[in-house]
């Protein structure tokens, strides 16, 4: 899909792409290492030029130093890099998840990475739990608004610790934020020739999602040539399972997009295959798998690195390195076809062995 939300179009000059790597917690560093290896392979082959800088941030760093994301690190990530390659955050030693919020949500908010692009692309019918997967293509993208909704941490506790305790969380939808992502969805849908679907819950949450509906309706009228529709999120979740082939771009708010993107991941083979890009087009970008730190898999060598590697492919595509991005996708497809996969996809290869196969696969793909 040709998308305007990608950062640079056209052929790449060989100016190095400056990539900051934050492995984070749990399996984050394990899968990110494989993504980095694949990018290094392409770099050594001369197809693209990439410089890497590792950042130590995550639970270990927080527990050792008390620092989640310092202003100094933030300023470097903002000013000195073209992209951030991110693993995952989340660690039971930090039960309130403070470092995870400061790092991941902090970067999304402070870099204003308002578009979270989460492709839902089925690479082979056998990967899907859907009965009809061999009859219908599944290839759509969730455009998740990444800066608002209930994620702002706005709220309070009243009568804390008493039987009358009440917790209040406030969700935000601003016209400016809704407008910019809905407009981008329509632009990209027009370029790709696909439908835009709004997912909301205006029937139960009228303030926040009522605004989404009004803005969506106004913009849809401006793009009368682009097919569009509005769906309540509960019905849309059913439709994603029943007829996934009908979707092109699903645009939605932060919390609903989070939930729908895990549902989408499961339609295409599970968390090990779902990549994402958090972008402010033309300015900043952070690439990461949709999945989390998977504490149950840490150190087992069973974490599937494909979602991280496909996130690196999104990084390449957004930075004009189309051929390199296609080589990564081809390498993933070849490994899937051979059954060279981790156990989540039925194989018996380790994280590093899949990484090996993806490195050889990109070299095969570029000939
Ligand atoms: P999770 O995505 O980490 O794991 C859910 C399930 O998917 C687990 O069974 C896990 O084993 C499996 N899984 C995940 N990634 C996999 C991979 N690459 N290969 C094979 N199987 C994989 O979600 P969770 O258990 O709800 O969260 C664990 C921690 O991660 C929490 O602290 C959560 O807040 C955090 N989290 C972080 C991010 C992120 O950094 N973007 C995303 C989601 C969750
Ligand atoms: C994701 C994650 C995060 C989110 C968590 C870790 C805050 O689930 O990236 O999908 O909800 O955005
Ligand atoms: Mn999530």
Q: Among 347, 313, 351, 245, which residue's Cα sits nearest to residue 41? A: 313
pLDDT level of residue 15 (50, 70, 90 thresholds): confident
Beta bridge partners of 141: 119, 249
Q: Is the pLDDT of residue 1 over 60?
A: no
290 lines ligand 2 (CB under 6 A): yes
CA 271 to ligand 1 center in whole angstroms? 8
How far apart are alpha carbons 105 and 288 in whole angstroms? 13
Does the reported pTM lie above 0.75?
Answer: yes
pLDDT attached to residue 4: 47
Task: Decide if 60 is catalytic.
Answer: no
Across 187-211, average pLDDT: 98
Q: Which of 201, 209, 287, 318 is catalytic?
A: 201
Range with the lowest mean pLDDT among 3-7, 229-233, 295-299?
A: 3-7
Q: What's the rounded Cα separation, in Å, for the pair 351 and 297? A: 11
Q: Residue 207: count other Cβ atoms within 10 Å of its Cβ.
A: 11
Fold of 129-267: Isopropylmalate Dehydrogenase (3.40.718)
- Whether residue 13 is predicted with pLDDT greater than 90 in this model: the reply is no
Percent of the chain residues past pLDDT 70, beyond the cut: 96
Alpha carbon of 100 to ligand 2 centroid (Å): 9
pLDDT value, residue 5: 54
Q: Where are the beta strands (DSSP E) in the chain?
A: 17-24, 50-55, 83-88, 115-121, 139-145, 155-158, 166-169, 196-200, 228-232, 249-252, 275-280, 284-289
Question: In CATH, what class is 14-116+269-367?
Answer: alpha beta
Residues facing 118 on adjacent strands: 142
Instruction: Kindly tell me if the per-residue pLDDT of 194 is higher than 70.
Output: yes
Task: Please report the pLDDT score of residue 3 as a whole number.
Answer: 46
* Percent of the chain whose predicted confidence (pLDDT) is above 90: 94
Find the 172 Cα to ligand 3 centroid distance in Å. 19
How would you classify residue 90: left for phi > 0, otherwise alpha for psi between -120 and 50, otherwise beta? left
Q: Do domains 14-116+269-367 and 129-267 have the same CATH topology?
A: yes
How many angstroms separate the CA atoms of 212 and 202, rounded? 8
Point out which residues pair with 287 in neighbouring strands: 85, 277
φ/ψ region of 155 (left if φ > 0, alpha if ψ in -120 to 50, else beta) reads: left
Catalytic option among 62, 151, 209, 287: 151
For residue 2, the model assigns a pLDDT of 36
Residue 339 pLDDT exceeds 60: yes
Which residue blocks in 232-304 are alpha helix, DSSP H? 233-242, 254-267
> Is the shortest distance between the CB of 240 and ligand 2 below 6 Å?
no
Q: Which atom of ligand 1 is nearest to the CA of 306?
A: 18
Mutate which of 27, 292, 307 for ligand 1 pocket (most atoms within 8 A of beta carbon): 292
The DSSP call for residue 15 is P
Confidence (pLDDT) at 128: 97
Query: What is the spatial distance between Cα 250 and Cα 258, in angstroms, rounded to a whole number?
Result: 12
233-242 vs 254-267: helix axis angle to the nearest 10?
10
How high is the mean pLDDT of the chain? Answer: 95
Tell me which long-range contacts 65-74 makes (C-beta under 8 A, separation of at least 24).
68/98, 68/99, 68/102, 68/103, 68/106, 69/99, 69/102, 69/103, 69/106, 69/107, 74/106, 74/107, 74/110
Q: Which of 98, 103, 277, 291 to mutate to test the pocket of ligand 1 (most atoms within 8 A of CB)?
A: 291
| 121 noted as active-site residue | no
Closest ligand 1 atom number to CA of residue 28: 40
Mean pLDDT (whole number) for 58-83 = 96
pLDDT of 11 strictly over 90: no
User: Is residue 270 scored above 50 in pLDDT?
Assistant: yes
The phi, psi pair for 171, rounded to 5°, reads: -100, 145
- 79 is annotated as an active-site residue: no
Phi, psi values for residue 261, rounded to 5°:
-75, -30
Q: What is the pLDDT of residue 14?
A: 80
The domain segmentation of the chain, as residue ranges, is 14-116+269-367, 129-267
SS3 at position 240: helix
Nearest to 84 by CA among 36, 152, 130, 127: 36
Is the CB of residue 258 below 6 angstroms from any atom belonging to ligand 2?
Answer: yes
The answer to whether residues 287 and 296 touch, using CB atoms and an 8 Å cutoff, is: no
């Amino acid at each position: 899909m040709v998308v305007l939300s990608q950062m640079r179009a056209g052929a790449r000059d060989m100016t190095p792409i400056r990539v900051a790597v934050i492995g984070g917690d749990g399996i984050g560093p394990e899968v990110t290492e494989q993504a980095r290896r694949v990018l290094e392979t392409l770099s050594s082959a001369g197809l693209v030029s990439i410089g890497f800088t590792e950042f130590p941030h995550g639970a270990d760093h927080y527990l050792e130093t008390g620092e989640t994301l310092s202003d100094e690190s933030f300023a470097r990530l903002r000013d000195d890099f073209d992209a951030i390659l991110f693993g995952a955050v989340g660690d039971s030693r930090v039960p309130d998840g403070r470092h995870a919020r400061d790092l991941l949500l902090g970067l999304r908010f402070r870099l204003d990475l308002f578009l979270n692009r989460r492709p839902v692309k089925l690479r082979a019918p056998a990967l899907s739990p859907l009965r009809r997967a061999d009859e219908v293509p599944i290839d759509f993208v969730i455009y998740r608004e990444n800066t608002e909704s209930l994620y702002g941490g706005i709220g309070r506790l009243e009568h804390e610790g008493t039987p009358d305790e009440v917790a209040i969380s406030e969700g935000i939808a601003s016209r400016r934020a809704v407008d910019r992502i809905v407009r981008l969805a329509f632009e990209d849908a027009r370029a790709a020739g696909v439908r835009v679907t709004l997912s909301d819950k205006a029937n139960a949450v009228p303030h926040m999602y009522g605004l989404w509906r009004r803005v969506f309706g106004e913009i849809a009228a401006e793009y009368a040539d682009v097919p569009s529709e509005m769906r309540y999120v509960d019905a849309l979740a059913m439709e994603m399972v029943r007829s996934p082939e009908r979707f092109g771009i699903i645009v939605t708010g932060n919390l609903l997009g989070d939930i729908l993107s895990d549902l989408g991941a499961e339609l295409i083979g599970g968390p090990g295959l779902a990549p994402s890009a958090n972008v402010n087009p033309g300015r900043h970008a952070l690439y990461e798998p949709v999945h989390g730190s998977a504490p149950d898999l840490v150190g087992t060598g069973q974490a599937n690195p494909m979602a991280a590697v496909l996130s690196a492919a999104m990084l390449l595509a957004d930075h004009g390195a189309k051929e390199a991005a296609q080589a990564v996708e081809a390498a993933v497809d070849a490994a899937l076809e051979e059954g060279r996969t981790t156990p989540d996809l039925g194989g018996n290869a380790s994280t590093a062995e899949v990484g090996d196969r993806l490195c050889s696969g990109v070299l095969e793909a570029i000939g």
